Structure 1
Amino acid sequence: MPEGHTLHRLAGLHQKRYAGTAVRVQSPQGRFAASASVLDGSVLERAEAHGKHLFHFHGPDRIVHVHLGLYGTFTEFELPLAEPRGQVRMRLVGGTHGTDLRGPTACELLTDAEVAALRDRLGPDPLRADADPDRAWRRISRSRTSIAALLLDQKVLAGVGNVYRAEVLFRHGIPPYTPGRELPREQWELIWADLVELMADGVRVGRIDTVRPEHEPEVTGRPPREDRHGGEVYVYRRAAMPCLVCGTPVATADLVGRKLYWCPSCQAG
């Protein structure tokens, strides 16, 4: 599932290409047809993201909400238009470009009140200027749930996924099963600051890189990571491989339906 930096990157692209112009909105697949007919020809006022949610604002009570889920993708293209391929839920065209949305978990037209209610259910997003990290800390500091599980709970923290979860805990030497209420406030502040920086870098470059300069392949002489997700990471999807810092085999386990990765030595506590 795309992590929050991907949605913010999309929001920035759509803001640049389509905001402030009248857009064509269609649903070749048909599942978004009624809403597309309402929006077709309207001006896209702005695009923004909150966590793993993307919003296209077309005016009062006309907001497209998209959650990509596991299989959703946007395909960008330049004009002229070509016939849509596959099951295109929503096609948006404006200016010199268009984008096709396929396979999302959600693509729906919401009112202002519905968007506000949705966002109220989400935790603070490290990529938003209006984020309040203390709101997340209040939930974490009272919880018996492990910090590894809490970081994936979108009601606690919005936008963080499996990669950033594993990597930020490694970077700060935190045992993943530490109960939230046992995490020192100073460590939470370091986690938050690190997520702000790492995720902003993800928006800029379009991939997740978490390895510090001294552990880069060019410095250590190790082969670069080869993975379809790209990016240099410490533990994510490196089960049984040697830790890049201490050489201990990376451990893995299932936690809240996702694979958890950590170094038993570097994150011993």
Structure 2
Amino acid sequence: MPEGHSVHRIARQFARNIVGRTVAASSPQGRFVEGAEVIDGREALEVQAVAKQMFLRFDRDVWLRVHLGMYGAWDFSGDVSVDATIASSNGRMGQTNQRGTVIDDAILDAAGENSLSSIGAPRRARVRMSEQTTGLDEQTEWPPPVVGAVRLRLLTESTCADLRGPTACALQTPDEIAAVIAKLGPDPLVDDVAEGEERFTATVKKKPTAIGLLLMDQAVVSGIGNVYRAELLFRARQNPHTPGRDVPEDVVRGIWRDWARLLPIGVETGQMMTMDDLDPAAYRRAMAHRDDRHWVYHRAGLPCRVCGTTVLMEEAAGRKLYWCPSCQA
């Protein structure tokens, strides 16, 4: 499932290519026909990402809420304007299998979390932004043909956005959107960071639930998924099984501040980069390969980078939890 940085990056893509334009909306798959009819012919006015959800507002206060879930994807095609802060030369955003290559000094991660480079000026292209990866291809036919089960197509004069396989795709009123956001924990890129720290700390300190589970609870804190959960806890040297209320307050605050630091890095680079102070060669390796950019995530059975103890992996509420039993004792 894409983590918070990916959703913020996708929202930036909408801001550059869809917001401020009138869209023709359709549901080729047929599962969002009525909703598409409401959106059709309206101007997209703003986009907002909170936690792992994206909200797109159209004129007359019509809101579209999208949660990609595990398998959702947005495909952009046409004249796609993408800069270095929101996409890579291979065009894909999200997280998946990690295969990296370096081309012309651009660090490309075929897992798609990339990017230090820009695809340059608007060009006729197709860009997938999701959990899965297909890369960036030249696109000549316009409008582009419908490929696969497209829940929603948003089409401007020059750009097409196709949505496939989301967990949620719904039209909601402003009050309903506000209610959804109110149930989410603080997001460092949306909420006041200091206020967010107080909310997060107060919530964690009253919970008997293990801190490793609390960090995955979007009602406690927004945007953290499996990767960031493992890495934040390791960086804090915090045992994931400690009840939230028993975690020292300074550690809880440190986790929030670390999240507020790592999330913007993820948005700007496209990588869930969690290792600090790397030399240039190590940094390039880390940007190209996931295995070189994390402390414990996906390192089950390997020695801890700090102490050499074997990194453990266990199931926690149906998700894989990676941690070092020595550093995080």
* Superposition TM-score, scaled by structure 1 size: 0.92
TM-fit CA distance, 1:16: 1.3
Distance (whole Å) between structure 1 residues aligned to residue 162 and residue 169 of structure 2: 12
Aligned counterpart, 1:118? 180
The answer to whether structure 1 residue 218 and structure 2 residue 281 are counterparts is: yes
CA distance in 1, matches of 2:219, 2:281: 39
SS of 1:152's equivalent? Answer: coil
Please list the CA deviations of residues 105-152 of structure 1 after superposition, one character each: whole Å capped at 9, or x if unmatched: 010111111111111111111221445222222221011111100000
Alignment of 1:25-40 (within 5 A): 25-40=25-40
- Which amino acid letter does the alignment assign opposite residue 166 of structure 1? A
Q: Distance in 2 between matches of 1:231 and 1:256?
A: 27
Structure 1's consecutive aligned runs of 4 or more residues displaced over 6 angstroms after TM superposition are: none
Question: Which residues of structure 1 form unaligned runs of 5+?
Answer: none
Residue number in structure 1 paired with 2:253 = 189
Using the alignment, how far apart are the partners of 1:95 and 1:204 within structure 2?
A: 28
Deviation larger for 199-208 or 123-132: 123-132
Counterpart for residue 4 of structure 1: 4
**1:15 alignment partner, SS class:** helix
Q: Distance in 1 between matches of 2:287 and 2:43?
A: 43
Q: Distance in 1 between matches of 2:63 and 2:245?
A: 38
Which residue does 1:50 correspond to in 2?
50
Is 1:240 matched with 2:301?
Answer: yes
* Structure 1 residues 224 and 114, CA gap change in structure 2 (3 angstroms): closer
For 1:119-134, what aligned pairs fall within 5 Å after superposition?
119-130=181-192, 132-134=196-198
Q: 1:45 to 1:231 in 2, by over 3 A?
A: farther
Label 1:95 to 1:231 Cα distance change in 2 as closer, same or farther (>3 A).
farther
Structure 1 vs Structure 2 CA RMSD: 2.0
**1:102 and 2:164 matched:** yes
Q: Partners in 2 of 1:51 and 1:195 — Cα distance?
A: 12
- Percent identity, please: 42
2:265 counterpart of 1:201: yes
The equivalent residue for 1:135 is 199
Say whether the 8 Å CA contact 1:64–1:108 is kept in structure 2.
yes
- When residues 265 and 30 of structure 1 are mapped into structure 2, their CA distance, relative to the original with a 3 A threshold, is same
Secondary structure at 1:70's aligned position in 2?
Answer: coil
1:249 counterpart (310, 317, 322): 310
